[in-house]
Chain A
């Protein structure tokens, strides 16, 4: 069974204070690892898809990296508008019935203070 663990559960940063969020996973053959941002009461907003160890993707102040066991979401010089819940999800390769299934972590609640 695929499993995803995100840490920390909550992170409070000062504006400009860079940090990283962690997503550890176990999966039977990784088809993809996904990062989403979710604001309260809204749907998750897609950020990145990573497919293989060593892959990196960047978007503005965010950079996602992937190893065989975990992914990091690095936030450089965050701003208050980066405050949100960040969700990590994996899609495994367990066979036909797993297609379309994402296994989500519990999320990291990020708060950036001005």
Chain B
């Protein structure tokens, strides 16, 4: 089973709201990722967690705050977003971030976010 689940599927929020996106995997993977994808563009990496520690932050604005409560869960806390932050937010996981055969990333279905 290579399933990554994300909730909610859709989210509409105002620029003053605080919301959270959730991601879960039960494959025993030790690396988890957040991506942002705009229409007709490839996914753009935001954050990488390895063994529950933040290993990569791709200079993401502080209005996006990631959290990894345990090895199966990944959250993305949203606050004071801008309309240009509207996008499909994707979570992914892999066995590890390094090591032959362990780096393949499996993506969830995404959360469609609209910021008004």
Binding site for B on A (CB under 8 A): 31-32, 34, 36, 41-46, 49, 51, 87, 89, 91, 97, 99-102, 104-107
- Residue of chain B at shortest CB distance from A106: B42
Interfacial chain A residues near B14, Cβ < 8 Å: none
A43 touches which of B97, B104, B109 (Cβ 8 Å):
B109
Assess whether A34 is in contact with B105, with CB atoms less than 8 Å apart.
yes
Assess whether A99 is in contact with B97, with CB atoms less than 8 Å apart.
yes
Instruction: Looking at the assembled complex, report how far the CB atom of B23 sits from the nearest CB atom of chain A, in whole angstroms.
Output: 11
- Residue of chain A at shortest CB distance from B56: A100
List 26 interface pairs A-B (beta carbons < 8 Å), by A numbering: A32-B103, A32-B104, A34-B104, A34-B105, A36-B107, A42-B110, A43-B4, A43-B92, A43-B107, A43-B109, A43-B110, A44-B43, A45-B107, A46-B2, A46-B105, A49-B101, A51-B100, A87-B43, A100-B55, A101-B48, A101-B56, A102-B45, A104-B42, A105-B42, A106-B42, A107-B42
- Residue of chain A at shortest CB distance from B107: A43
Going nearest first, the 10 A-B pairs with the smallest beta carbon separation are A104-B42, A100-B97, A43-B107, A100-B48, A99-B97, A44-B107, A99-B98, A43-B110, A43-B109, A49-B104
B1-34 contact mask (Cβ, 8 Å, vs A): 1 or 0: 0101010000000000000000000000001010
Instruction: Looking at the assembled complex, report how far the CB atom of B86 sits from the nearest CB atom of chain A, in whole angstroms.
Output: 13
Interfacial chain A residues near B107, Cβ < 8 Å: 36, 43-46
Known interface pairs A32-B104, A42-B109, A46-B107. Does A100 touch B42 (Cβ–Cβ under 8 Å)? no
B48-63 contact mask (Cβ, 8 Å, vs A): 1 or 0: 1010000110000000
- Residue of chain A at shortest CB distance from B89: A43
